[in-house]
Chains A and B, each alone.
Chain A
Amino acid sequence: MTRNAFLWISVAILALYFTVALLAPFIAPYGATEIVGAPLQPPDRGHLFGTNDVGQDIFSQLVYGSRVTLIFGFCSALLSVSISTCAGIVLGYYGGNIDEVVCRILDILMPIPIFPLLIVLTTFFNPGVVQVSILMGVLGSIHGIRLIRAPALSLAETPFIEGARSIGATDLRIMSRHILPNLMPVVTAKFVSSSQHYLVMGVGLSFIGLWDTMTVDWGSMIQNAYSSGALSLGLWWWILPPGIAVVGISLALALAGYSLEESFNPRTEVNRI
């Protein structure tokens, strides 16, 4: 299979997830927190994935939960990549002392593990989904800044950037109209891989209950099932759907990320004889 086929498969899967999240009220038969039947019912015609311990419809929870999970993953990634791109281009283009100072600061921040730091921060401030998403986007941009800065640095020295200056273009215009388009491949690939990273991290944070536990999302669904002993009681319909949903989108994003990176970066191409 070609990398293009992989890319299209992953795009199709992502489109499916987004459609479900967007059309949640039309797809889900019940509300996410609505009690609609007897508890712990196995899947049947009325409840596609059965019900949980308080009699909520698991299929509806899964559909509504996709919203929080997706919004968290993609918003954090968008924020993180935007910060990385802006900062990386500015540092790479201007260079000099500011670049030197910021890079040293980044060197210090780099080894700080984000996940444990988030756990510490959330225990102190008890934030909601939005705050955690912002926090994670900011903290996660450290690596991205270095990633974008490197090619921006070499682009800033190219003859066509000098050419742009020689026709009287302002710095802002050079950065946005000349350097940024050249970096779009890197930025796109970084965005896709970050979304996967953040999405899984979001599920993880929710699983350990780091934000409002009343929010219905895949992480909290798994957490509920897990803490109620769904595994040992054989209540597979409770724990498997959110798990498979997470694995599915994560795989699709990883696949998209790899195919994009491969098509943008010819050096990663393996010899196909």
Chain B
Amino acid sequence: MSLLAVSNLSVQFEGRAGTVPVLDHIDLEINTGEQVALIGESGCGKTVFGMSVMRLLPSNARVTGSARYAGRDLILADEREMQQVRGKKIAMISQNSAFALNPVLTIGDQIAEPLTLHTSCRGNDLHREVIALLTSLGIERPEENMQKYPHQFSGGMRERILIAMALACNPDLIIADEPTSGLDALVKAQILELLRTVMQDRTLLLITHDLGTASALASHTAVMYAGEIVEYGPTQDLFTYPLHPYTQGLIAASPSAGFHPIPGVSPAPGQVPSGCWFCPRCSCAMDRCSTVHPSLKKTGTNRQVRCLRYD
């Protein structure tokens, strides 16, 4: 059953230099219990996608399309409605743990905040709840640690605290935006392991540029390029048999496959070429690739790909 159905979602930013399209007609369905990874290069619009579902984009963003969640369209919901959804129904683990916590509030207060906002839990119950959350995320001596401030923790610990905040109200969907950015390899492995355990029977939208993180956590993966989805499928299949040349390139560029970078750079928003957007960098481009823009087509049982070679 689909928990969040995003269809035809486009985002444009209005600036002094005119309107810049960032996301183009995104269709993505997240079913209950699925962990969907959204992967792509920096600047391809992954974070904007997460933010547009949460309706946290700045006021100069023009969002069209729909994001249906629990019978309503989040894109059309008003601010008051969204405040009831954020943190309670859809929670976010934001990137960059160093700045994602308020430096002048204790972490106990910050973990308690979603509970204060969305539940009637107060006083001793609240205290117990926070301790239970900290314990479940492997933070030792919770009584003592909840009195501390964010700067007294390491990056890995802060990440755990952010995960605790996101899990506090037991939300239906968790959007994790680069949950392991800025962590060293060892801590990253620990956090990934932790996320894998806690996300096992939850619904997750994972936003990352790291293929390793995606394959470790996600049941399904969507590949994004220059603001559109170019390939979608079960993670295992997609990484073993990548269909789109861009996905193939991404996998070949990963350290384990020998670091073969994709030639060229991805187009700046609003300056995409005619035809297939990946065409100028594609090693197997055909003549019509530079004129015809491919659409996202179903291939096989549950794969989708945006490439003329599979038409």
Contact check: which of B56, B96, B102, B103 meets A166 at CB < 8 Å? B56
- Residue A227 lies at the interface, judged by CB distance under 8 Å to chain B: no
Which stretch, B111-119, B139-147, B301-309, touches the partner chain A? B111-119
What are 22 A-B contacts defined by CB distance under 8 Å? A159-B94, A159-B100, A160-B102, A163-B92, A166-B87, A166-B91, A166-B92, A167-B91, A167-B113, A167-B114, A167-B117, A167-B165, A168-B83, A168-B84, A168-B85, A168-B88, A169-B117, A177-B105, A177-B113, A181-B102, A182-B103, A182-B104
Contact check: which of A158, A170, A181 meets B105 at CB < 8 Å? A181
Which A residues are in CB contact (< 8 Å) with B105? 177-178, 181
Q: How far is the CB of B98 from chain A (nearest CB, A)?
A: 9
- Residue A111 lies at the interface, judged by CB distance under 8 Å to chain B: no
Contact check: which of A158, A169, A182, A184 meets B113 at CB < 8 Å? A169
Main SS of the interface on chain A?
Answer: helix
Which B residues are in CB contact (< 8 Å) with A181? 102, 104-105
Q: C-beta contact mask, A146-168 vs B, less than 8 Å → 1, else 0? A: 00000000000011101111111
Q: List B residues 106-127 near A (Cβ within 8 Å).
A: 113-114, 117-118
Which A residues are in CB contact (< 8 Å) with B92? 163, 166-167
Q: Across the interface, do A158 and B86 meet the contact criterion of CB distance under 8 Å? A: no
Which A residues are in CB contact (< 8 Å) with B75? none
Q: A169-B117, A178-B102, A182-B103 are in contact. Are A162 and B88 (CB under 8 A)?
A: no
Which B residues are in CB contact (< 8 Å) with A168? 82-88, 114, 117-118
- Interface contacts beyond A159-B96, A162-B56: sample of 8 additional A-B pairs, CB < 8 Å, sorted by A: A159-B95, A163-B101, A163-B162, A163-B165, A164-B102, A166-B86, A167-B92, A181-B104
- Bound Cα distance from A168 to B171, whole angstroms: 12
Contact check: which of B59, B82, B165 meets A96 at CB < 8 Å? B59
Q: Across the interface, do B100 and A160 meet the contact criterion of CB distance under 8 Å? A: yes
Q: Across the interface, do A162 and B114 meet the contact criterion of CB distance under 8 Å? A: no
- Bound Cα distance from A168 to B82, whole angstroms: 7
- Residue B218 lies at the interface, judged by CB distance under 8 Å to chain A: no
Shortest Cβ distance from A157 into B: residue: B58
- Bound Cα distance from A162 to B96, whole angstroms: 12
- Residue B99 lies at the interface, judged by CB distance under 8 Å to chain A: yes
Q: Across the interface, do B117 and A160 meet the contact criterion of CB distance under 8 Å? A: no
Q: Across the interface, do B94 and A166 meet the contact criterion of CB distance under 8 Å? A: yes
- Bound Cα distance from A164 to B104, whole angstroms: 13
A-B residue pairs, 6 tightest by C-beta: A167-B87, A168-B86, A168-B87, A166-B92, A159-B99, A167-B114
- Residue B54 lies at the interface, judged by CB distance under 8 Å to chain A: yes
Contact check: which of A96, A165, A182 meets B86 at CB < 8 Å? A165
Interface core residue of B59, B101, B102, B114 (most chain A CB under 10 Å):
B102
Q: Across the interface, do A167 and B102 meet the contact criterion of CB distance under 8 Å? A: no
Which A residues are in CB contact (< 8 Å) with B113? 164, 167, 169, 177
Which B residues are in CB contact (< 8 Å) with A182? 102-104
Q: List B residues 45-93 near A (Cβ within 8 Å).
A: 54, 56, 59, 82-88, 91-92
Which A residues are in CB contact (< 8 Å) with B91? 166-167
Q: List A residues 181-218 near B (Cβ within 8 Å).
A: 181-182, 184
Which B residues are in CB contact (< 8 Å) with A160? 99-103
Shortest Cβ distance from A160 into B: residue: B102
- Bound Cα distance from A178 to B101, whole angstroms: 10
Shortest Cβ distance from B50 into A: residue: A166
Q: How far is the CB of B3 from chain A (nearest CB, A)?
A: 18
Interface core residue of A96, A165, A170, A178 (most chain B CB under 10 Å):
A165
- Bound Cα distance from A48 to B59, whole angstroms: 68
Which B residues are in CB contact (< 8 Å) with A166? 54, 56, 86-87, 91-92, 94
Q: How far is the CB of A186 from chain B (nearest CB, A)?
A: 12
Shortest Cβ distance from B101 into A: residue: A160
Interface core residue of B96, B114, B162 (most chain A CB under 10 Å):
B114
- Bound Cα distance from A182 to B149, whole angstroms: 13
Which B residues are in CB contact (< 8 Å) with A177? 105, 113
Which A residues are in CB contact (< 8 Å) with B59? 96
Interface core residue of A96, A158, A164 (most chain B CB under 10 Å):
A164
Which B residues are in CB contact (< 8 Å) with A96? 59
- Bound Cα distance from A168 to B84, whole angstroms: 6
Shortest Cβ distance from B55 into A: residue: A165
Q: How far is the CB of A213 from chain B (nearest CB, A)?
A: 47
Which B residues are in CB contact (< 8 Å) with A158? 99
Q: List A residues 28-85 near B (Cβ within 8 Å).
A: none
